[in-house]
């Protein structure tokens, strides 16, 4: 498939780079903004609380390709908050999983994503690899991320059922796309989602705030990293 950069409508977000008819996408630099503080969080409708015997942690798409566009200081804060959450989950015996998008997807694998985001990332490990500070441990699961929802066609739901987990703590990027879709899919499957506000990030503070408000009002509990298993 030949991707036509002229028809893509998100040039403020990414550029399509074509070579010999093939294409990859470069996500543009994301302007710095302050990650949400506890005072910034929207009011939750659900009053769920994390139970270590019921919960699992999902580190969502924390790959070099998706985190690199953030300013260095912002990325460091995002990664640090995610590290804190994972550390507490490990200490509490909460199983940890990662969603990782594959590079170099064929047009058939990419499907309708191509109409909104172009061909996606290539196969360079400098893009596809998980951030070094968040590499999965030997007992931690990885699931291929094919669509917005981390539950799509990869066994994540089955793994949660097999491990008797009906709560999902979510960290990662991007809040208004995959994080939101994954939270909604968890809710649809009667899994209580907890979105960690300052361990997620987005293209802008506006996108981030909109995502947190949406899930808090419809499908999830929004919390600060300091609240997770504290």
Active site residues: 61
Characterize the bridge pairing of strands 192-201 and 221-223: parallel
Quick one: tokens of 21? 């008819």
Measured on CA atoms in the order 135, 50, 147, 115, is the torsion positive or negative?
negative
Rg (CA), the chain: 17
Q: Measure the CA–CA gap between 136 and 214, rounded to whole angstroms.
A: 29
- Are 115 and 74 a contacting pair, CB within 8 Å? no
């Amino acid at each position: 498939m030949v991707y036509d950069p002229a028809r893509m409508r998100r040039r403020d977000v990414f550029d399509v780079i074509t070579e010999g008819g093939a294409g990859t996408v470069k996500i543009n630099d994301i302007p710095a903004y302050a990650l949400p503080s506890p005072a910034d969080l929207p009011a939750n409708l659900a009053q769920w609380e994390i139970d270590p015997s019921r919960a699992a942690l999902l580190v969502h798409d924390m790959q070099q390709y998706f985190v690199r566009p953030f300013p260095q200081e912002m990325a460091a804060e995002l990664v640090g908050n995610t590290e804190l959450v994972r550390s507490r989950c490990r200490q509490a015996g909460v199983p940890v999983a990662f969603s990782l998008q594959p590079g170099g997807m064929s047009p058939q694998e990419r499907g309708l994503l191509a109409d909104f985001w172009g061909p996606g990332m290539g196969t360079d490990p400098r893009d596809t690899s998980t951030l070094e500070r968040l590499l999965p441990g030997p007992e931690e699961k990885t699931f291929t991320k094919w669509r917005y929802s981390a539950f799509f066609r990869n066994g994540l739901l089955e793994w949660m059922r097999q491990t008797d987990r009906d709560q999902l703590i979510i960290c990662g990027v991007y809040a208004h796309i995959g994080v939101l879709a994954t939270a909604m899919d968890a809710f649809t499957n009667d899994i209580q989602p907890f979105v960690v506000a300052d361990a997620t990030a987005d293209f802008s503070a506006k996108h981030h705030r909109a995502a947190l408000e949406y899930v808090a009002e419809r499908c999830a509990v929004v919390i600060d990293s300091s609240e997770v298993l504290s």
